[in-house]
Structure 1
Amino acid sequence: MTPDWRKPVGMLAILALIAIWSIVIMSLSGVVGRWHWTLQFAFYLVAGIIWITPLKPLLRWMETGRWRA
């Protein structure tokens, strides 16, 4: 069995996605910090879940080499 190059590339892409997403969210903290605490909670809850959505196609690509099922 030969090692597949898609898995290391996919892992680096996941790490890059997490880094970029966290930088974007942190850059909005000055604006979000002025909101009521319930809006802040909702924003960070949604932002904490949204970054997961691109992972399914990326993980599929890592395993199969195809982006779509």
Structure 2
Amino acid sequence: MRDQPTWRIPVGILLLVVGLTVYALVIARYVPELIEGWPTLVQTLVYLLLGIVWLLPLRRFLIWMETGRKG
């Protein structure tokens, strides 16, 4: 555990919130137009995949927030 607070945690949380907001807005704006004619099951799978994809860079980001090193 660290003894001193670090600026990376509040900045990281703000960046995470802003990044996820931008990601969600881009998905909500552009994806429906691209997949509107697709079968409902395929649309569901696309949204499930897009809902999970944002987690991929999260590990490295959290390591940076905690340690200051790239994961």
Query: Smaller-chain TM-score range?
Result: 0.7 to 0.9
Q: How far 1:40 sits from its partner (Å)?
A: 0.1
Quote the Cα distance in structure 1 between the aligned partners of 2:14 and 2:32. Answer: 26
Match of 2:4 in 1: 2
Task: Name the TM-score, length of structure 1 as normaliser.
Answer: 0.87
Query: Any idea what the Cα deviations from partners look like across 1:32-52, whole Å, max 9, x if unmatched?
Result: 222111110110010000011
Query: Any idea what the Cα deviations from partners look like across 1:9-47, whole Å, max 9, x if unmatched?
Result: 110111012111101111221222221111101100100
CA RMSD of aligned residues (A): 1.2
Quote the Cα distance in structure 2 between the aligned partners of 1:53 and 1:5. Answer: 23
Q: What 5-or-longer segments of structure 2 have no aligned partner? A: none
**Would you say 1:62 and 2:56 are equivalent positions?**
no
Paired positions, count: 68
Quote the Cα distance in structure 1 between the aligned partners of 2:6 and 2:36. Answer: 44
Quote the Cα distance in structure 2 between the aligned partners of 1:3 and 1:17. Answer: 23
Q: What 5-or-longer segments of structure 1 have no aligned partner? A: none
Question: Quick one: percent identity of the two aligned structures?
Answer: 37
